[in-house]
Amino acid sequence: MKKRVFILLVLFTCLAFGRDFNEYQAFSYLQEQVAMGPRYPGSTGQIVCRDWLVYKSEQYADTVIVQEFQAYRPDNDTWVSSYNIIARFSPENNDRIMLSTHWDTRPISDMDPFNSKKPVPGANDGASGTAVLIEIMDIVSSLDLDLGLDLVFWDAEDMGLAGSGQYFCQGSEYYANDPIQPIPQKGILIDMIGDADLQLPVEVNSIRYAPELVNEVWDLAIEMGYGHIFQKIMGQEIFDDHVPLNEIAGIPTINIIDFSYRHNGRNIWHTPKDLPVHCSPRSLKYVGDVLLEWLIRQ
Q: What is the mean pLDDT of each run of 10 residues along the chain (298 residues)?
A: 43 56 98 98 98 98 98 96 98 97 98 97 98 97 89 98 90 97 98 98 98 98 98 97 98 98 97 98 98 94
Encoded amino acid at 143, one letter: L
Q: What does the pLDDT read at residue 145? A: 79
Q: Report the relative pairing of strands 200-202 and 148-154 from DSSP bridges.
A: unpaired
d(C-alpha 232, C-alpha 222), whole Å: 9
CA 217, CA 223: separation in Å to the nearest integer? 10
Rounded Cα gap, residues 200 and 258, in angstroms: 5
pLDDT at 16: 53
CATH of the domain at 139: 3.40.630.10
CB-based contact 123:34 (threshold 8 Å): yes
Cα–Cα nearest to 193, from 236, 245, 256: 256
Q: What is the tens place of the pLDDT at every residue in 88-99? A: 999 999 999 999
pTM value is 0.94
Cβ(229)–Cβ(221) below 8 Å = yes
For residue 119, give its domain range. Answer: 2-296
pLDDT tens-digit profile of 30-53? 999 999 999 999 999 999 999 999
How many structural domains comprise the chain? 1
Give the CA distances from residue 155 to residues 8, 81, 92, 224, in Å, rounded to whole numbers and listed in that order: 38, 10, 25, 32
Are 205 and 246 contacting, i.e. CB atoms less than 8 angstroms apart?
yes
- Residue by residue, DSSP assigns the chain as -HHHHHHHHHHHHHHHHSS---HHHHHHHHHHHHHT----TTSHHHHHHHHHHHHHHHHH-SEEEEEEEEEEETTTTEEEEEEEEEEEESTT-SSEEEEEEE----SS-TT-TTSTTSPP--IIIIIIHHHHHHHHHHHHTTS--SSEEEEEEE-S-S-S-TTS-TT-SHHHHHHHHSPPSSPPSEEEEEES--BTT--EEEPHHHHHH-HHHHHHHHHHHHHTT-TTTEEEEE------THHHHHHTS---EEEEE----EETTEE-TTSTT--GGGB-HHHHHHHHHHHHHHHHT-
- pLDDT score for 8: 43
User: What pLDDT shows up at residue 11?
Assistant: 44
CA separation, residue 20 to residues 12, 23, 139, 248, 266 (Å): 10, 9, 8, 35, 34
Cα(112)–Cα(180) distance, integer angstroms: 38
Cβ contact 252:205 at 8 Å: no
* pLDDT confidence of residue 1: 41
Closest by alpha carbon to 195, among 262, 245, 149?
262
